[in-house]
Amino acid sequence: MLAMKSAAELQDAVESDPGILLTVDIGRRDVRGRGRVARFDIGGADEMAGQLLIAQRLLCSSCLAANDRIRLQRRLVAIGDAAKVPGADVARGAWRLDRLLADIAAAEDP
C-alpha cells in the first residue's frame, strides 16, 4: 500500500496532467511519476507468488488425468486472479492456495 502522503501527491499530479506517465517497479516497490517517487509494501505477495509457482510446477510435472489437471489448473488461475484484485483478502487466498496444494498432492496419490 502506498504511503498516504505519497499517494496524495501522485493523485494530484495525475489530476493536473491526465497524460502523465507513471512507472510501477515491483522489484523496487515504487511508483514514479514526474520526479516523485512513492514506495509501497507488497506484504505477503512474494510468498504467495512463490507458492503459486510451486503449484504450477507441480501441476505441470504431475501424472493426472486430463479432467483433474484442468480442474486444478482453473482453481490455480482463479486464486492468482483473486490475489491481484485491489483489497484482496491475502489470508483467504493463502488458505485457498494451501487447499489447492493439498488437493494436487492427494490427486497424485494412487
Q: What is the pLDDT of residue 90?
A: 80
Predicted TM-score of the model (pTM): 0.56
Q: What percent of the chain has pLDDT over 90?
A: 12
Domain boundaries, the chain: 4-39, 45-108
Please write the tens of the pLDDT for every residue from 21-74. Answer: 878 776 666 778 777 777 766 555 667 787 888 889 888 888 888 899 999 999
Alpha helices by DSSP H, listed for the chain, are 4-16, 45-61, 66-84, 90-108
Average confidence (pLDDT) over 12-18: 79
